[in-house]
Every structure is written in C-alpha cells, then in structure tokens.
Amino acid sequence: MTVATERPYEIVIGIETHVELGTLSKMFCPCSARWFGMPPNTLVCPVCLGLPGALPVPNRRAIELSMTAGLALHCEVPEHTKFDRKNYMYPDLPKGYQISQYDLPLNVKGWLEITGDDGSPKRIGIIRAHLEEDTGKLLHGDGYSLVDFNRSGVPLLEIVSAPDMSSVSEALAYADALREILIHAGVSEFRLEEGAARFDTNVSIRFREDGQVRWPPQSEIKNLNSLRALEQAVTFESGRLWEDWQAGGEIRTRKAKITVGWSPETGRTFLQRRKEEAEDYRYFPEPDLVALAPSRETVEHIRSSLPEMPSERRARFVAQYGLSDYDARILVSDPLLAALFEGAVAAGADAKTTANWITGETLRFLRERSVRAAEIPFTAAQLAELVGLIVKREISATIAKDVFAEMWASRKGPAAIVTEKGLRQVSDEAAIASVVDDVISAQAKAVADYRGGNKRALEALFGGVMGRTKGKADPQVVRRVLTEKLG
C-alpha cells in the first residue's frame, strides 16, 4: 500500500523518547524527584552527587512504573534484566557513568497504535523501553558554567520506537499516543514544558532513483522538547537531506549517521557529531546492584491492574454511551475528566448531557482559570445531580450555567443552590399563562408585528416572559402558551 504524496521521497522516522517517571523520590536515593522550579542543588545527597563511597539503591516504584509502561505498550517483560554502567565524562554526570540498561532492558518488543496517514490504524513498533537515571543540568554563564544536580538521578524511561513512521504527522501522532498512554497508565505526567520528557528523533529519506531504492544514512536530532520542535525539526531535516542529495552533497558519500541539534531560533539543525567521532560507552553490568528477575506473578499483577488504555476507552465511550468520537476523544484525553464522566453516569446522569457539560462549561472554566482537571471543585455525584435537574427540566439551561458557576465558587451541591436561590424552573401552565398575559398587554407593538407576519417578534415576547420570571419559567411551556395565546 502506498499513499499518494507530493514528496518525491518517503520520510523514515524512529523516535527515542526520554520521559521522567512520576515517582516521589529519585531512582537510586531518597531525594525528592520533583525538581522543577526548585532552587539549585537543594535536592541532593551523596548518592546523586556521586560522592566517593556512595552507592545506589533502586527505587522499587520506578521499576514497577517502568513495567507498567512496558505492559501498556504491549511489551514483554523478560525474566532477567539488569542495570549497566554507561561510561562517559561530562560535568552534569557526577559519577562519570550513567546507570542505565544495555543488553537486558526491562521491556522489549511492544507496539502502540496510531491513525496512519491513510486514515486506517497503524501499529508503531516499540523495540525496547529501559530504565535509567537522569543527569544534572548545566547553566552556562559568560566564561563559566554552573551545575545543578537537582535533576541528577531522577528516574527516566527511554522508549525506543521502530523506524515505522513515514511522515511528520505520523511522528506527531506517535508522540501524542505515547503521551496519552503514559499519562493514562499513571507512569508519567509527561511534562514536555518542564523538560521532563524529550525526544531524540532519527530521520532518514528513502526514494527511488535510476530504478533503485536509495536510503542514505539518517540524522539523529537530539533533545527535542516539544511537539512543535519535533514537527519543525523533522520537516527541516528531511528536506535538508533531500536537498543535499539533489545537490550532490556529503550525504552521497557518508556511510554512517550524524547527530544534529535543533535551534528553534534559526529554525535549522546544526551538526553535533559524526558517527566516526562517536563515544565508546564501555557498557558493563553495574556491580553495585544485583540483577533483577521480575517474578511472573509481579508482571501479571501489574498487567491485571493496568487501567484501560485511551484508544480502547474511546471506542467504549462511543459504543457504550453513544457519544461522538469528538466527545469521547476530549473526555479520554484526561483520565480525571473520563473518571468524572463515568462517575456521573454511574450516579444516574444522562450520558450525552453529562459529556456536554464536561466538554463545554467544565473545560471553559478550567481554561479561563488556567488550572488542571485535578482542581475541579465538584464531585461526579454533584455533576450527576446538576444533569438530573436539567434533564427533568427543573432548571433551564441558562439557570444551569448560573448554578454551575455557583457550584464552582461555593462548592455547594446544585440542588442546595437551586433551593437556596429559588431557581427551580416554573412549569406550572397557569402561572406561566398569567405572566404571558401580562407580557402580551405590555408589549403591544411586538404582538402587532407578530400578528402582521413578523415571526421573529415572538422572540421579544419570549424574552419578556423569561425576564419577568427571572429565567425560571420552562422555556418550552412558555413558547407553547405564547403561540396559543397569540393564535
């Protein structure tokens, strides 16, 4: 199967994602792993500073989360796995080696599914996902550099995809799907904006020329820290490789991959090193740690406690609750929203109306206040109560919005607010009819216009009734009575 494309070449993309795990403490010491925004070198101890004599003690939770991630990505968890030392010297790496995993990673041979460019589901292979420790951070000044070791030793999962993506949009879909899965599985918050997730992206181009398939060596674009950077850098680099080929440039003779960086300022990549200059990391088993043999019971326990993954959950929301794809996608994008939805429905609320109130008012409030779903002040049961009032037409949609705002502000339940403020909808025909009579006599001109054939004049009369009842009158009853009386 080939996709019609305007490009004369195919892009081949593989992504190595580094993502910090959502543990409280670091990978090998008890220091807090919540380093973002902390004053430099305040979350450190002999272990993560690499002081002489310090020894690593593995964080059990980090190992469990890594396996959780692997299982969510349909990986196998081998029976034998171990840590290795990856040796290289750099000032942000205090021990002169990074504890990582070389030949026996925690997870191998998985996949995730995206929607491919042709609109059909496409599986992207996961070659491996291994656990390692993050480095410190360098802060460069004028003629000097400072090192902050707060991030040193934070657990990092490196997820290596197969080179299965064939376009920028597929690469973005992969990054998005991965992010969604890891957040759903409770493995990581995937905070790209804090540098807690990064992409190293391998890009190459493949095309036919003179009847032969050409596939020159790839570029590895290091440290992309946003989806936008991923998109721009891959677009730029694949185009650059093609132009270089057309111009008879160095790519025609190069035998090995190159490593490049991405400059968002210039919108260009820049050469970091050639393969020939690549370091020999001299991996060997970490003698300070014992090899791991995750028991099959542990693996099965983690597998059975995996939450439902987003793609499955979306499909279920559509099938079970009759939601649109669009609503299902929004709800599932955040586990808390999905839980709020299902909680409200379980409490008896109408599914469609509940979905509308979450994707509408709730998200609007979150956006306006720039807060996360965790800060939603009401419970699923309270939302269900509000939806119940609306469906049973005890309050109108307009009143419901006021009640919603009040729920947010006062944290009271909707029924209590309605009772307290006397907002219950008036559906009593006699009461409404008397107000309609008042409005008809008060707005003679509108009545005349309506009877003269201007049907829009009805809206003015309707507004009059709603105004006099402070919005509490049942709009459907008002409309019917009005039309009857105006004959």
Partner 1 sequence: MAEAGTIREIAAALRSRRTSASELARAAIARAKADAYNAWLVVAEDHALVQARAADERISTGDAPLLCGVPWACKDIIGTKDVETTAASRILDGYVPPYSATVVERLDGEGAVMVGKTNLDEFAMGSSNENSAFGPVHNPWDPSRVPGGSSGGSAVSVAAGEVTFALGTDTGGSIRQPGALTGIVGMKPTYGRVSRYGVVAFASSLDQVGPFTRTVEDCAIVCQALFGQDPSDATTMPLPVEDLRRDLDRGVKGMRLGVPKEYFIAGIEPGVERAVRAAIRELESQGAAIEEVSLPSTDSALGVYYIIQPAEASANLARYDGVRFGLRVEGPDLVETYKRTRGAGFGAEVKRRMILGTYALSTGYYDAYYVKAQKVRTVIKEEFERVFGKVDALVTPTSPTVAFGIGAKVNDPLQMYLNDVFTLPVNIAGLPGISIPCGLSEGLPVGLQVIAPYYKEATMFRVAAAYERATMHHTLRPTARDSRPQEVRS
Q: Does 97 bind partner 1 (CB under 8 A)?
A: yes
Closer residue to partner 1, CB minimum distance, 96 or 264: 96
Residue in 22, 94, 105, 310 binding partner 1, rule: CB under 8 A: 94
CB of 253 to partner 1, least distance (A): 24
Q: How many residues bind partner 1, per CB under 8 A? A: 28
Closer residue to partner 1, CB minimum distance, 257 or 316: 257
CB of 147 to partner 1, least distance (A): 7
Q: Does 256 bind partner 1 (CB under 8 A)?
A: no
Listed residue (285, 287, 288, 280) closest to 88, CA to CA? 280
Listed residue (310, 75, 303, 60) closest to 182, CA to CA? 310
Looking at residues 376 to 395 of the shown chain, list those that interact with partner 1 (rule: CB under 8 A): none
Q: Which stretch binds partner 1 (CB under 8 A): 93-101, 121-129, 181-189, 342-350?
A: 93-101
Q: Does 50 bind partner 1 (CB under 8 A)?
A: yes
93 in Cβ contact with 137 (< 8 Å): no
Q: Does 436 bind partner 1 (CB under 8 A)?
A: no
Structure tokens at 409: 């502000």
Residue in 52, 143, 453, 487 binding partner 1, rule: CB under 8 A: 52
Residue in 11, 15, 43, 49 binding partner 1, rule: CB under 8 A: 49
Closer residue to partner 1, CB minimum distance, 288 or 361: 288
Residue in 3, 8, 38, 46 binding partner 1, rule: CB under 8 A: 46
Site string for partner 1, 313-332 (x = CB under 8 A): --------------------
Q: Which stretch binds partner 1 (CB under 8 A): 43-51, 226-234, 265-273, 392-400?
A: 43-51
Q: Which stretch binds partner 1 (CB under 8 A): 54-62, 163-171, 181-189, 302-310?
A: 54-62
Closer residue to partner 1, CB minimum distance, 98 or 311: 98
Q: Does 335 bind partner 1 (CB under 8 A)?
A: no
CB of 292 to partner 1, least distance (A): 11
Q: Does 85 bind partner 1 (CB under 8 A)?
A: yes
**Token pair 């019609």 is at which residue?**
4
Closer residue to partner 1, CB minimum distance, 81 or 238: 81
Q: Does 288 bind partner 1 (CB under 8 A)?
A: yes
Q: What is the 3-state secondary structure (H, E, C) of the chain?
A: CCCCCCCCCEEEEEEEEEEECCCCECCCCCCECCCCCCCCCCCCCCCCCCCCCCCCCCCHHHHHHHHHHHHHCCCECCCCECCEEEECCCCCCCCCEEEECCCCCCEEEEEEEEECCCCCEEEEEEEEEEEEECCCEEEECCCCEEEECCCCCCEEEEEEECCCECCHHHHHHHHHHHHHHHHHCCCCCCCHHHCCEEEEEEEEEEEEECCEEECCCCEEEEEECCHHHHHHHHHHHHHHHHHHHHCCCHHHCCCCCEEEEEECCCCEEEEEEEHHHCCCCCCEECCCCCCECCCHHHHHHHHHCCCCCHHHHHHHHHHHHCCCHHHHHHHHCCHHHHHHHHHHHHCCCCHHHHHHHHHHHHHHHHHHHCCCHHHCCCCHHHHHHHHHHHHCCCCCHHHHHHHHHHHHHHCCCHHHHHHHHCCCCECCHHHHHHHHHHHHHHCHHHHHHHHCCCCCHHHHHHHHHHHHCCCCECHHHHHHHHHHHHC
Looking at residues 138 to 167 of the shown chain, list those that interact with partner 1 (rule: CB under 8 A): 147
Q: Does 89 bind partner 1 (CB under 8 A)?
A: yes
Residue in 16, 36, 40, 54 binding partner 1, rule: CB under 8 A: 54
Phi and psi (nearest 5°) for 425?
Answer: -65, 140
Q: Does 372 bind partner 1 (CB under 8 A)?
A: no
Q: Does 53 bind partner 1 (CB under 8 A)?
A: yes
Site string for partner 1, 267-286 (x = CB under 8 A): -------------x-xxx--
CB of 297 to partner 1, least distance (A): 20
Q: Which stretch binds partner 1 (CB under 8 A): 45-53, 209-217, 357-365, 452-460?
A: 45-53
Residues in the site for partner 1, rule: CB under 8 A?
46, 49-58, 85, 87, 89, 91, 94-97, 147, 280, 282-284, 287-290
